[in-house]
Structure 1
Amino acid sequence: MCNAPDYTIHRHQHHFGWDNSITPIESVSPGSALEFVCMDSSGGQITRYSAAADLSALDFERVNPVNGPIFIDGAEPGDIIKVTIEHFKPSGFGWTANIPGFGLLADQFKDPALVLWDYDPHGMTPAAFGQHGAVPLKPFAGTIGLAPVEQGLHSVVPPRAMGGNLDIRDLSLGSELYLPVQVDGGLFSIGDTHAAQGDGEVCGTAIESQMDVTVKLDLIKQTPLTTPRFTTPGPVTRHLDAKGYDVTTGIGKDLMAGAKAAVSNMVDLLSARHNLNSVEAYMLCSTCGDLRISEIVDMPNWVVSFYFPRIVFE
């Protein structure tokens, strides 16, 4: 259990997009622990009462709010901010959506779809999917980063050299993330919290879930770093490994085409085996299935594999 944080950054203390001219919420000393009361990636627009039809009314100017920014005393370009993930306080509610025009298979899935999730925020037992499935949970923050050196407002959606919308499932409890400082103070922000996600987040959303996150911010002086790196405290897939995996592949000269084929093949497999419609299978893949590059040396064809954990249905 983590100690009480030195600061609390509340829900209303957020911003949209990266901009190094945004006034910091707090200035903190290195070694400070901060609790962030984060919103979900819709900024509260999707609720327990939402339906797929509501996705067409989403205000994308309010998507992916991040709490902050935080000025770290003494941080300057050429330094590193070390972020230690200390605690999550989940809300118990989440959602997964197929948003038209977004996701790896956007050309195949053109209609909106929405799954609402209820889960145990204390025991974090697997969350029910339909009548027969249950997805193991692993909280993490999808968006975590510093301000870029480039002037002006920049979208939160694409990840950047200073972090941002990384959507790395393994940045979970106990992980240590190292971010390159590009501007004085670093200007740290965090949000886009998830209850579970597969590697690839293939439909474009995970189990998007409001939760509180506590992190410790440390400063490492004058240690060049070009892109983020991180360490994990132990095994990263133990919550999924117990029953093994079903795996589909995509093979060809283009990794993106291979990734699409591997996921599409898994959608077909899950639909046939578990009586799911195809968009349900696609969204389920996004919450717990993993895209992997299995082979990238046997030219001219590469192999991309999609691993779906059998524990979800067993």
Structure 2
Amino acid sequence: MSHPGHTIHAHQHHIGWNNAIPPVMTVAPGSRIAIDCPDSSDGQLTAASSVTDVERLDFGRINPVVGPVFVDGAEPGDAIKVTIGEFQPSGFGWTANIPGFGLLADQFAEPALKLWSYDRAGMTPAAFSTIARVPLKPFAGTIGLAPAEPGLHSVVPPRRVGGNLDIRDLTTGTILYLPVEVAGGLFSIGDTHAAQGDGEVCGTAIESPMALEVTLDLVKGAGFATPRFTTPGPVTRHLDGAGYEATTGIGPDLMTAARDAVARMIDLLVRDHGMSAVDAYMLCSVCGDLRISEIVDLPNWVVSFYLPRLVFA
């Protein structure tokens, strides 16, 4: 494998989006870049951490993103084409229930922490407990460009230009298109995960520092309103070999139905597998998928939550 032409180190990061942040480098379209990403806690949680460290988190350091990168020739109305390359995982990760954060924050008010150690070379499933092993699929949770609006903007919510998308399929081989709103685009990336379910329901995945490669290209006059992406192949093959357990939420409000579907899966895991409720919640976040199953049959919609059975194999 040839070496990328550019490298950005983990300390070259920023917190939040601001189009006034000077770029750490300027590249020509087609450039391949190696990027070293810190975890979403910016190193505040380590393999030696305990749950008390969750309570002490400095939220002013949460979700650092590495960059920004100025792409020559990029102007508003264009798109930056991001081809996601190989990941080099660190072998360490963490999952936490952070009070006030997550889909069921009102039901899980106490902090919790799960530390992970995984084979960084083989990327074999990581053990959650004595009864569950989670298949790994590295990806970057936060990947985006600077917004046109001046000033500092939180990195927590996703935006038109990308950001904290938490789409687990933004992994090796995927091509992502991000709409440009400022000159150069100002690309940044971070929040790398070793695994996550669709929905990231407790608010965290297997948060894990890692290095990765991206190739940044330019699509002139693309006119995209929001990000779009193309995957290189199947997206659930690492999970679906043994089928799923699924629970549902049904009603006129999608958010309520989503909460109900997840809460019922937690109840199932507590009852059938002897897990604590908060452990079940965190397991759901790292490997279970929320799906809209039906949204046309007035007045009620169906949201389903799928948990892969192979985690218990």
Residue of structure 2 in register with 1:279 after alignment: 278
Deviation at 1:3, TM superposition (A): 2.7
Residue of structure 2 in register with 1:307 after alignment: 306
Give the distance between the partners of 2:151 and 2:40, measured in 1 at CA: 22
Residue of structure 2 in register with 1:199 after alignment: 198
Residue of structure 1 in register with 2:227 after alignment: 228
Deviation at 1:54, TM superposition (A): 1.2
Most deviating of 20-29 and 51-60: 51-60
Residue type of the partner of 2:93? G
Residue of structure 2 in register with 1:262 after alignment: 261
Structure 1 gaps, min length 5: none
Question: Aligned with 1:34: secondary structure?
Answer: strand
Give the distance between the partners of 1:207 and 1:25, measured in 2 at CA: 28
Give the distance between the partners of 1:37 and 1:96, measured in 2 at CA: 20
The percentage of aligned residue pairs carrying the same residue is 69
Give the distance between the partners of 1:257 and 1:241, measured in 2 at CA: 26
Give the distance between the partners of 1:235 and 1:244, measured in 2 at CA: 15
Give the distance between the partners of 1:127 and 1:238, measured in 2 at CA: 17
Give the distance between the partners of 1:287 and 1:307, measured in 2 at CA: 12
Question: Aligned with 2:285: secondary structure?
Answer: helix
Is the counterpart of residue 131 in structure 1 residue 156 in structure 2?
no
Alpha-carbon deviations, 1:31-50, whole Å to 9, x = none? 00001100000000000011
Alpha-carbon deviations, 1:201-241, whole Å to 9, x = none? 00000000000010000001111000000000000000000
Residue of structure 1 in register with 2:71 after alignment: 72
Give the distance between the partners of 2:106 and 2:160, measured in 1 at CA: 29
Give the distance between the partners of 2:297 and 2:222, measured in 1 at CA: 37
Give the distance between the partners of 1:58 and 1:35, measured in 2 at CA: 28
Deviation at 1:272, TM superposition (A): 1.1
Residue type of the partner of 1:122? A
Matches within 5 A, 1:40-59: 40-59=39-58
Instruction: Give the TM-score normalised by structure 2.
Output: 0.99
Give the distance between the partners of 1:11 and 1:243, measured in 2 at CA: 38
Residue of structure 2 in register with 1:298 after alignment: 297
Deviation at 1:56, TM superposition (A): 1.2
Question: Aligned with 2:166: secondary structure?
Answer: coil
Question: Aligned with 1:284: secondary structure?
Answer: helix
Residue of structure 2 in register with 1:160 after alignment: 159
Give the distance between the partners of 1:12 and 1:307, measured in 2 at CA: 38
Give the distance between the partners of 1:3 and 1:195, measured in 2 at CA: 24
Residue type of the partner of 1:15? H
Is the counterpart of residue 117 in structure 1 residue 116 in structure 2?
yes
Deviation at 1:295, TM superposition (A): 0.4
Structure 2 gaps, min length 5: none
Residue of structure 1 in register with 2:19 after alignment: 20
Alpha-carbon deviations, 1:110-134, whole Å to 9, x = none? 0000000000011000000111210
Alpha-carbon deviations, 1:248-276, whole Å to 9, x = none? 00000100000000000000001111111
Residue of structure 2 in register with 1:209 after alignment: 208
Residue of structure 2 in register with 1:63 after alignment: 62
Question: Aligned with 2:11: secondary structure?
Answer: coil
Question: Aligned with 1:67: secondary structure?
Answer: strand
Number of equivalent positions: 313
Give the distance between the partners of 2:43 and 2:68, measured in 1 at CA: 20
Matches within 5 A, 1:26-41: 26-41=25-40
Give the distance between the partners of 2:237 and 2:61, measured in 1 at CA: 35
Is the counterpart of residue 189 in structure 1 residue 197 in structure 2?
no
Residue type of the partner of 1:208? E
Residue type of the partner of 2:301? W
Residue of structure 2 in register with 1:151 after alignment: 150
Question: Aligned with 2:194: secondary structure?
Answer: strand
Residue type of the partner of 1:251? I
Give the distance between the partners of 2:77 and 2:54, measured in 1 at CA: 42
Residue of structure 2 in register with 1:253 after alignment: 252
Deviation at 1:53, TM superposition (A): 1.4
Give the distance between the partners of 2:151 and 2:168, measured in 1 at CA: 29
Instruction: Give the TM-score normalised by structure 1.
Output: 0.99
Residue type of the partner of 2:20? S
CA RMSD in angstroms, aligned pairs only: 0.5
